[in-house]
Chain A
C-alpha cells in the first residue's frame, strides 16, 4: 500500500487555501499519526485521500493510480474511514451501523459471513453486549468504538481515523491505539490516525506527520519530530521532551503567546 500526495492544494473557498502544496509519501504496512493544531487541515487532508473532498490542485495517488480516476465504490473497498462524529437523527442499532461497513463488499441481503465479520470486530473492541442497542443510547466512548468497528469490517488496506480516541478514557485510549498498531502489523495495512494526544502518538506510531498552517511542517520517526523546538514552533507551547524507552515523552509547561493570534482572556 502506497499513498503519494503531489502538490496538493485544497480550499473551501477559491481564494483561501486550507492546504497548500502538500507533498507526502506513505508506504504501508505502517502506523502513522498526523498531529497539528486546530484548523490546520488534518481532517481536510484525510478527506482528500479518500475522495470525500476533491482537491483544488495537485493529486493523490494510491499505488500509482490517481484517486480521481477511481470510482468511490472501489475506493471504499481499499480505504476505510472512521469519522470524528456521526449523525444520529435516526439512529440504527449498533449491529446495523457496523454492518454498513460491509456495504462496499456486499449486496441486498447481509450474509452470515458479513455478520460474522461484524461479530469479530465487536469482539475485538469488547462491545458485543451492545450489539442490539440503538446508537443514540451509547456513551461517547462506546459510540466511538462502534465507528471504529465499522472501519474494521470494511477490511480496508488503508484505514483513516479522525481522532479515534478523542472521547475515550485513558485506559481505552491506550488499548485502542495499541489495537490500531497491532492491526497495521497483523493485517499489513496502512493506518493513518489524526490525534491530539502527542504522547499517545509518540509512543505507538511508526511515523508522525506534523501539520502547521497550511502545510507539512515535518515528518519522520517520533524521536526525530517530537522535539521541544518543533512543539514550540507548531503548537506555541513551552514543553520539555524526555526520552522513555526510546520514545519521546512530552511534559507540557505553558502556552506561549502566538504572533498575530487573538489572545484568549486569561483573567486579571
Chain B
C-alpha cells in the first residue's frame, strides 16, 4: 500500500483543485466563443458580412438595420442566455446541495409556478402589484413578486419547529400544485388571445430583451451567485447532514433558508424576464458534479459556467434549426435530455476529476 508523503499530499490536493478550475475555464471559453457565433444567426436574415460590419463599425456603419439587429436584438439575447444559464445552474447546484437531493432544481420552491400565476393574473385581469407600470414591467413585477410567495411561506412556517429537506421539498411541491391549479382556473375563464399570451410566456424565451432588462437580470445574478458562493463552506457542512453541520458550528436552519431565499430571488429575477426555462437548472449541476465533485466552492462556478455554455449553445441551435425563432427552452430539453441520459449511463467513475 502506498504511503503518501506530506509534500505529495498537499501538492496533489492543490493540483486536483486546479484541474477543477480548468473545467470552469473550459466551459467559459466555449460559452464565450458560442456567444460570438450566435450573433450570426437569427430570424432577420442579415448576412454574415453585414454582421461583421455591424460589430466592427457599431454606430458608424451605414447599414442601420444590421446594426440594430446585432446590437439591440442579438447581443442582448446572447447576454440573456449567458445570464440565465449562470443563474439557473448555480441556483440548481445550491438547491441540490441544501436539500441533499439530485432531483432538486431552482424552481423547487415554486418559483416557476408562482411566476406563471403572477403573469396570468396580469394578462387576464390587468392587475399588477405595482399599478401604473407599462405592460412589460407589470408582467415582470407580478412574476417576480408572486414567485417569491412560496419561499416567504416556508420561512414563516419554519420560524418555529424543525425543518428537514424532505419537508421542504414536499411543501415546495404542494405550493406548486396550488399555484398551477390557480393558473389553470384563470386560463379556463380567459379568452383565446389572453390564453395564447399566457402560454407563450410559459414556454420561456430569451429574445426581445431590452438592455435595461439585461442590466437588472445581470446585477441580480452577479449579486445572488456571489452570495451563494460565500456560503460554500457552510453548504458543504450541510451536505454532510444536519448533525455534522451543527457539530462544526454551522447554523443549519439559517444557512438552509438563507441560501434557498437567495436562489429563489435570483431565479425569480431572471425568470420574470425570460419565462420558465426548464432543464438547465436540474441538469447542469448534475453534469458539473461528474467532473468536479460536490464541493460547493467548485461546484457552483462549474455549474454556472456549464449552464451558460449549455443555454447559449441551445439558443444558437434553436436559431439555426428554425430561423423564425424557437423557444430555447424547448431545444435545451430536446437535445439536453438524451445527452444527459447518455452521460449518466456511461459514467464509470463515481465523480471527481
User: Does residue B177 face the partner (Cβ distance < 8 Å to A)?
Assistant: no
A134: chain B residues within 8 A (beta carbon): 293, 350-352
CB neighbours (8 Å) of B12 from chain A are 131-132
CB closest residue in chain A, given B6: A119
Q: Which size bracket describes the interface of A in this complex?
A: 35 or more
Known A-B contacts A108-B233, A116-B6, A137-B350; the reply to A86 vs B241 at CB < 8 A is: yes
Q: Given A76-B247, A92-B295, A103-B248, A116–B350 Cβ distance below 8 Å?
A: no
Q: Is B100 an interface residue (CB 8 A)?
A: yes
Q: Please give, as numbers and ranges, the residues of chain B lying within 8 Å of A112 by CB-CB distance.
A: 10
Q: Does B138 contact A (CB under 8 A)?
A: no
Q: Is A265 an interface residue (CB 8 A)?
A: no
**A208 and B13 alpha carbons, distance in the complex (Å):** 41
A131 touches B239 (CB 8 A): no
Number of interface residues of B (CB under 8 A): 36
- Are B3 and A90 within 8 A (Cβ)? no
A21: min CB distance to chain B, Å: 25
- Compute how far the CA of A172 lies from the CA of B183 in the bound complex, rounded to whole angstroms: 61
Main secondary structure of the interface of A (DSSP, over half): helix
| Chain B 113-136: CB-based contact to A (< 8 A → 1; otherwise 0) | 000000000000000000000000
Min C-beta distance of A116 to chain B, whole Å: 6
Say yes or no for A91: interface residue by CB 8 A criterion.
yes
Contact of B97 with A by CB under 8 A: yes
A72/B251 contact (C-beta < 8 A), A128-B9, A134-B350, A134-B351 known:
yes
B1 x A86 contact (CB < 8 A): no
| Residues in chain B near residue A75, CB distance under 8 A | 249
The interface residues of chain A lying within 8 Å CB-to-CB of B251 are 72
- Inter-chain contact B239/A89, CB cutoff 8 Å: yes
Picked from A50, A103, A128, the residue with its CB within 8 Å of the CB of B237 is A103
Q: Within the complex, what minimum Cβ distance (angstroms) separates A60 from chain B?
A: 15
Contacting pair A83 B244 (CB below 8 A): yes
Complex alpha-carbon distance, A100 and B239, angstroms: 11
Q: Please tell me which one of the listed residues B9, B233, B240, B352 contacts residue A87 in the complex, with CB atoms under 8 A apart.
A: B240
What is B's interface to A at a CB cutoff of 8 Å? 1-4, 6, 9-10, 12-13, 16, 96-97, 100-102, 233, 236-237, 239-241, 243-244, 246-251, 289, 293-295, 350-352
Please list the 8 inter-chain residue pairs (A to B) with the smallest Cβ-Cβ separation, ordered nearest first. A76-B249, A73-B249, A81-B247, A90-B294, A87-B241, A128-B4, A89-B100, A104-B249
Please name 10 pairs of A and B residues whose Cβ atoms are closer than 8 Å in the assembled complex, sorted by A: A52-B247, A72-B246, A72-B251, A76-B249, A89-B101, A91-B294, A92-B295, A103-B249, A132-B352, A134-B293
